[in-house]
Amino acid sequence: MSIEILMPALSPTMTEGNLSKWLVKEGQDVKAGDVIAEIETDKATMEVEAVDEGTVEKLLYKEGDSNIPVNKPIALITSDQVATNNTNEAIKENTSKKEKKESIEPTKEPTKTILNNKEEKISLSKDQITMRQAIRDTIAEEMRNDKKVFILGEEVAEYQGAYKVTQGLLEEFGKKRVIDTPISEQGFAGLAIGAAFKGLIPIVEFMTFNFSMQAIDQIINSAAKTLYMSGGQINCPIVFRGPNGAAAQVAAQHSQDFSSWYAHVPGLKVVSPSTSLNAKGLLREAIRDPNPVIFLENEILYGLKGEVSNDKNFTIPFGKANIVKEGKDTTIVTYSIMVQKSLEAAKILKNKFNLDVEVIDLQSLRPLDSHTILNSVKKTNRIVTVEESWPFASIGSEIVNIVQQNAFDYLDAPILKVNSADVPMPYSSALEKLYLPQIDDIVKAVKEVNYI
Amino acid sequence: MKKLSKSDHLKIFSYMLKIRRFEERSAQLYGMGHIGGFCHLYIGQEAVVVGVLMTIHKNDSVVTTYRDHGHMIARGLDPKKIMAELTGRADGYSAGKGGSMHMFSKKNNFYGGHGIVGAQVPIGTGIAFTHKYNGEKNICRTYIGDGAMNNGQVFEAFNLAALWSLPVLYIIENNKYGMGTSVDRAAAGSDLYKRGEAFGIKGEIVDGMNVYSVIKAANKAGEYVRSGKGPYILEVQTYRYRGHSMSDPAKYRTKKELEEYKSSDPIEIVKTEILKKKIATETELEKLSKEIIDEIKSAADFALQSKFPSAEELYTDVYI
């Protein structure tokens, strides 16, 4: 009987891949452990080994076929090993259940970015590019513009970036400006801060922001405070960037959201993009800013495609939120990956409950655009904050404070916060889903402030 | 190395004495309540920074710990503005926002003054990185207290400096105690100069009470680093006469130990040398000493007459 070989997931957030090469032919016998194909993901090219023994019955995709979804059969193997079949069936059943779950992946639909400031006409690119590429391009453009800009971090050069954000940079700029570091966050973050004090413009990539905790003393005590402590003499033009928050099933130590940690600190600026367009605009602004900037990316958003500005000097000023959807009934204030979820919740709220929700993408967490939030609340009289971080002392908590202080009389309902659960991130996908804010949670909160 | 000239000898003497008189005056102002917070004095350690000063090039960089008053004086900074900073005045080097532990002068390539033990070591390594990146022939002297030599980021910095062959000279000021804990009680294998060996960084030990030994070693090490061979470590053995900070009675060491170090006082060594070489007479040195006392007194007067920062200054210099 036939066993299906499925397109494997080769990373926690992989959703599809390309079949770059078959290493077996139809009719060929394979043993467990034989390499049968090379699969290219957005991060790397990897070999796939046979788990079962038998004869290759059919190859379902050609070499060069791309965007094959994870868990799609790519080949059939004829085998008489019943026991193995059962295991395989079990796996298949499990994964198909997984597929049915609400996906935390970005919608395949391209996102439209509307910019708050409507007088500003942005000429948008014909092509859609991923946020990964938007970030990469911006780094490259700024490195071309200014020789003082360089990038360092773990695996940024020869490996081409743990998440392929720095792909091709080594080739273009050489090892003087694209620098692989040892796994030594406090050391290389401190070194980069020293370089910034002395006038260079380092971009520090943290493989993920979880590892920035190793360097947080340098970021806060050295980068954020030295301008003040030196009476304005020594500034620190530096960007700390990398994926922040949860990926998929990487559990407690690799899934933390640091938004409010860094936004707490005077001297730092903190921004978090949600689209390719604002990733470019905010990153260029960050690199050109003479202050230390924390640039919080999201691994799940790296593959999200969208238009970007054609203007090579396009920047988005910090402290300016973006109204991504206008509405009159309730304000949702959110940022990063939760912008997508909030927009999806908004659709449900419109279709099922006829609620017209306004969705504000903060983009910049410090400085925070209180003005746009307050104007919106004065119009809608109801507000829900949505973010991936823990609830205690979160960005949402600060927004609650701003709104109660400045728009108390406009509120028709208590402000609700949608956050992750107040526990360490669990590993199990079943619990992970409960931990993270879901579309339903947002819908529920908006209904609640509307007393529905 | 060039032989020291007569004026070199006198420069050494006056800088060391200026640091000592400055620190004594600081102690006095602290006692009077004009200086607050933490205040770490450099008395006893003068030969270290002044010895290194004699080997420094104009555009070389320096970064150090919170025991930084002497380092600033040796970098040629104005005692008036240093004292104004200690007393929290607007005319201080950090406009009254840094205080004793956090002083900087970008113009003079002096990058602090860092309050977190060990943090200045990756920073100094990054400043050296910049010298190399820019193709400059300058080096960064990064001072480290003996206490920091047990701090992880110091070794991360050593690794990076050796890996990338950065022009950084690490100078360990081993004054025998990290606050109240002696080196023997804190460091397994107390030969601190050997702590770069695993990274291939050469190190040597230097008598930090004798300025001439410091000059010789700092010159050799400085030129090694400047020639592009990568980092180098000097462990300069010294002694602080006072406690760790103003509030420390230093009961963890004996009076005998202190007296022994005082009997080989670094300034007396220079004075004896000058007299022996007949570079100046006792009377001339006394005159010089008097001028220094006057200079430091006027620095204190300047500081106390300087205005406190205005209320608006609270919110400036957070961002530029």
The answer as to whether B320 is a domain residue is no
Using a 10 angstrom Cβ sphere, with 0-12 exposed, 13-18 middle and 19 or more buried, the burial of residue A227 is buried
With CB atoms and an 8 Å threshold, state whether B122 touches A190: yes
- Report whether pLDDT(B26) > 80: yes
- Residue A11: its pLDDT value, please? 77
- Report whether pLDDT(A113) > 90: no
Same domain for A335 and A401?
A: yes
CATH number at residue B157: 3.40.50.970
Active site residue: A142, A154, A205, A254, which one?
A254
Same domain for A297 and A334?
A: no
- Report whether pLDDT(A121) > 90: no
Asked if B13 and B270 count as a contact pair (C-beta separation under 8 A), the reply is yes
Same domain for A163 and A94?
A: no
- Report whether pLDDT(A86) > 70: no
- Residue B179: its pLDDT value, please? 93
Q: Tell me the per-residue pLDDT of A197-245, one tens digit each, with 9 for 90 and over.
A: 999 999 999 999 999 999 999 999 999 999 999 999 999 999 999 999 9
The answer as to whether A113 is a domain residue is no
Separation of alpha carbons A360 and A320, rounded Å: 10
Same domain for A261 and A402?
A: no
**Does A292 lie at the interface with B, CB-CB under 8 angstroms?**
no
Count of A–B CB contacts within 8 Å? 146
Euclidean distance between the first and the last CA atom of chain A, given in angstroms as a whole number: 54
Task: Report CA dihedral (A261, A266, A268, A272) to the nearest 10 degrees.
Answer: 50
Give which of B171, B28, B46 is closest to B86, Cα–Cα. B28
- Residue A115: its pLDDT value, please? 55
CATH number at residue A188: 3.40.50.970
The answer as to whether A141 is a domain residue is yes
The answer as to whether A109 is a domain residue is no
Asked if A420 and A442 count as a contact pair (C-beta separation under 8 A), the reply is no
Residue A48 — pLDDT band, cuts 50, 70, 90?
confident
Asked if A436 and A424 count as a contact pair (C-beta separation under 8 A), the reply is no
H, E, C per residue of A82-105: HHHHHHHHHHHHHHHHHHHCCCCC
The answer as to whether A17 is a domain residue is yes
With CB atoms and an 8 Å threshold, state whether B93 touches A234: no
- Residue A108: its pLDDT value, please? 45
| Mean pLDDT for the stretch of residues A376-405 | 98
Least confident of A34-48, A332-346, B298-312: A34-48
- Residue A91: its pLDDT value, please? 43
Residues of B in contact with A191 (CB under 8 A): 122-123, 125-126, 129, 157, 160
Q: Across-strand partners of A69?
A: A16
The answer as to whether A112 is a domain residue is no
The answer as to whether B1 is a domain residue is no
Separation of alpha carbons B302 and B299, rounded Å: 5
Residue A187: which of B115, B127, B156 has the nearest Cβ? B156
- Residue B66: its pLDDT value, please? 95
Q: Tell me the per-residue pLDDT of B214-240, one tens digit each, with 9 for 90 and over.
A: 999 999 999 999 999 999 999 999 999
Residue A10 — pLDDT band, cuts 50, 70, 90?
confident
What was the ipTM of the complex prediction? 0.96
Same domain for A242 and A281?
A: yes
| Mean pLDDT for the stretch of residues B294-313 | 97
| Mean pLDDT for the stretch of residues B274-300 | 97
DSSP B73-102: HHTT--HHHHHHHHTT-TTSTTTTSS-TT-
Q: Tell me the per-residue pLDDT of A268-293, one tens digit each, with 9 for 90 and over.
A: 999 999 999 999 999 999 999 999 99
- Residue A101: its pLDDT value, please? 40
- Report whether pLDDT(A89) > 70: no
Asked if B81 and B49 count as a contact pair (C-beta separation under 8 A), the reply is no
Which three-class secondary structure state does DSSP give residue B172? Answer: strand
| Mean pLDDT for the stretch of residues A108-122 | 53
The answer as to whether B88 is a domain residue is yes
Residue A120 — pLDDT band, cuts 50, 70, 90?
low
Q: Which domain holds residue A7?
A: 2-100
Separation of alpha carbons B129 and B259, rounded Å: 42
Residue A119 — pLDDT band, cuts 50, 70, 90?
very low
| Mean pLDDT for the stretch of residues A68-85 | 76
CATH number at residue A376: 3.40.50.920
- Report whether pLDDT(B296) > 60: yes
| Mean pLDDT for the stretch of residues B250-279 | 94
- Residue A3: its pLDDT value, please? 85
Using a 10 angstrom Cβ sphere, with 0-12 exposed, 13-18 middle and 19 or more buried, the burial of residue B58 is exposed
Q: How far B280 CA sits from the closest chain A CA (Å)?
A: 40
Q: How far A335 CA sits from the closest chain B CA (Å)?
A: 23
Residues 6 or more apart whose CB falls under 8 angstroms from that of A8 comprise A39, A48, A70
Separation of alpha carbons A389 and A26, rounded Å: 50
Residues of B in contact with A270 (CB under 8 A): none
Asked about A185 being catalytic, the answer comes back as: yes
Mean confidence (pLDDT) of chain B: 96
Same domain for A143 and A292?
A: yes
- Residue B2: its pLDDT value, please? 79
Q: Which domain holds residue B83?
A: 6-315
Q: Which of B62, B91, B107, B129 to mutate to test the interface with A (most CBs of A within 10 A)?
A: B129
Same domain for A268 and A153?
A: yes
Q: Tell me the per-residue pLDDT of B119-133, one tens digit each, with 9 for 90 and over.
A: 999 999 999 999 999
The answer as to whether A27 is a domain residue is yes
Residues of A in contact with B121 (CB under 8 A): 190
Same domain for A295 and A151?
A: yes
Residues of A in contact with B126 (CB under 8 A): 190-198
Asked if B142 and B171 count as a contact pair (C-beta separation under 8 A), the reply is yes
For A9, the token pair is: 């997931």
Query: Are β-strands A239-243 and A201-205 bridged in parallel, bridged antiparallel, or unpaired?
Result: parallel
**Does A20 lie at the interface with B, CB-CB under 8 angstroms?**
no
Q: Which helix (H) or strand (E) holds B269?
A: helix B266-276
The answer as to whether B11 is a domain residue is yes
Residue that is last in its domain, among A306, A331, A361:
A306
Name the more confident of A76 and A100: A76
Same domain for A276 and A164?
A: yes
| Mean pLDDT for the stretch of residues A56-62 | 92
For A330, the token pair is: 């309730």
The answer as to whether B138 is a domain residue is yes
Least confident of A106-120, B48-62, B275-289: A106-120
- Residue A81: its pLDDT value, please? 55
Residues of A in contact with B122 (CB under 8 A): 186-191, 193-194, 218
Separation of alpha carbons A401 and A377, rounded Å: 13
Q: Tell me the per-residue pLDDT of A240-268, one tens digit each, with 9 for 90 and over.
A: 999 999 998 899 999 999 999 999 999 99
In chain A, the number of structural domains is 3
- Residue A41: its pLDDT value, please? 81
Which three-class secondary structure state does DSSP give residue A359? Answer: strand
With CB atoms and an 8 Å threshold, state whether A195 touches B130: yes
Separation of alpha carbons A3 and A88, rounded Å: 7
Separation of alpha carbons B300 and B143, rounded Å: 27
**Does A182 lie at the interface with B, CB-CB under 8 angstroms?**
yes
In chain B, the number of structural domains is 1
Same domain for A82 and A44?
A: yes
Q: Tell me the per-residue pLDDT of B169-208, one tens digit each, with 9 for 90 and over.
A: 999 999 999 999 999 999 998 899 999 999 999 999 999 9
Give which of A148, A193, A181, A152 is closest to A169, Cα–Cα. A152
The answer as to whether A311 is a domain residue is no
Same domain for A256 and A225?
A: yes
Which residue carries 């230093």 as its tokens? B250
Q: Which of B116, B133, B139 to mutate to test the interface with A (most CBs of A within 10 A)?
A: B133
Q: Where are the beta strands (DSSP E) in chain B?
A: 61-64, 110-113, 140-145, 168-174, 177-178, 181-182, 202-207, 232-237
Give which of A76, A8, A6, A73 is closest to A40, Cα–Cα. A8
- Other residues' Cβ atoms within 10 Å of the Cβ of residue B105: 23
Residues of B in contact with A227 (CB under 8 A): 317-320
Same domain for A267 and A374?
A: no
- Residue A96: its pLDDT value, please? 44
Q: Tell me the per-residue pLDDT of B49-87, one tens digit each, with 9 for 90 and over.
A: 999 999 999 999 999 999 999 999 999 999 999 999 999
- Residue A44: its pLDDT value, please? 75
